[in-house]
Amino acid sequence: MKRLSQNRRVSPHNRRTVPGTVRLKTTIPKEIEKNNELKYFTREQLEKFLNEVKKPQKHAKYQHSIQYYVLFTLLARTGLRIGEALALTWDDIDLENKTLTVNKTLVCPTNSTPYLSTPKSKASLRTIKLDEVTIRLLKKHRINRNEMYLRYPGYRKPETNIVFHQQDGRWLRANVVKEYFKEVCKRAELPVLSPHALRHSHAVHLLEAGANIKYVSERLGHASIKMTADTYLHVTKKIEDGALELYQRYTERK
């Protein structure tokens, strides 16, 4: 594993400098999705979850529920892995062209300082389109952040221009996000899942909406279409059955 110099990394997409320390992996692990562990929210459950997230909490400093609402909505509408989302800087997001580039991930070792690393696989290096809802939310988040820096002296602006961070400007850790996610699930009286469920939810909802499986695979950053098909087998089976019914009605039409 190789560490690049502090505060500099060259993006494989546009060769621009990305803040933060990055450790490069010498080998790229194979992504494995276990079908028997697939957990996700239905559309109704997701709406209930997000409505619960944005409720202001008593004694909460710096409107932290707003940041979590933006983060969880982003995960649910892009299918990003939690490490990919926490590693994002504003340089990775093109609000004008409505794109988001994944070129790194945040690794959060227990009892150690978080660091940036290369994504899970080569396929994870990707640029995806963002919908209008996500764009509007990110724009509001950036404005809200700038207002917070001015309003609260204790709320520090990070040196690395990261999108999601703690009140002192440091990285928002994955374990902290996971604990808050579970807390919201309990408050909303929903199954207690993990943030990764939002990635699965995005994929399932795309497929149910009729999205091409190749598009879904590329959007998620899967190594192959087969991996996507195997992971979401129950959804693709339903789509196949529906397609056959449409075909049968078409051929029998007079």
- Whether 74 and 87 have beta carbons less than 8 Å apart is answered as no
Q: Which residues make beta-bridge pairs with 232? A: none
The fold of 2-26+34-209 is hpI Integrase; Chain A (1.10.443)
How confident is the model at residue 122, as a pLDDT? Answer: 93
Residue 49: closest CA among 27, 71, 19, 24: 71
The band of 2, judged by pLDDT with boundaries at 50, 70 and 90, is very low
Q: Can you tell me the mean pLDDT for 6-35?
A: 43
Q: What is the DSSP string of 233-245?
A: HHHHHHHHHHHHH
SS3 52: helix
Q: Taking 70 as the threshold, does the pLDDT of residue 184 lie above it?
A: yes
How confident is the model at residue 246, as a pLDDT? Answer: 81
Q: Taking 60 as the threshold, does the pLDDT of residue 134 lie above it?
A: yes
SS3 165: strand
CA–CA gap between residue 205 and residue 186 (Å, rounded): 23
Domain-by-domain residue ranges, the chain? 2-26+34-209
The band of 14, judged by pLDDT with boundaries at 50, 70 and 90, is very low
* Tokens 């996700």 found at: 40
Q: Can you tell me the mean pLDDT for 7-32?
A: 43
Residue 236: closest CA among 246, 223, 225, 247: 225
The band of 75, judged by pLDDT with boundaries at 50, 70 and 90, is very high
Q: Taking 50 as the threshold, does the pLDDT of residue 204 lie above it?
A: yes
The band of 89, judged by pLDDT with boundaries at 50, 70 and 90, is very high
Cα angle at 95 between 211 and 86, to 5 degrees?
Answer: 80
How confident is the model at residue 243, as a pLDDT? Answer: 79
Q: Taking 70 as the threshold, does the pLDDT of residue 25 lie above it?
A: no
Q: Token digits for 49?
A: 């979850």
For residue 78, the 8-state DSSP code is: H
Provide the residue count of the chain.
Answer: 254
Sheet bearing 115-117, strands edge to edge: 2-3, 22-24, 115-117, 105-107
How confident is the model at residue 159, as a pLDDT? Answer: 81
Q: What is the pTM of this model?
A: 0.82
Q: Can you tell me the mean pLDDT for 227-239?
A: 87
Q: Taking 70 as the threshold, does the pLDDT of residue 90 lie above it?
A: yes
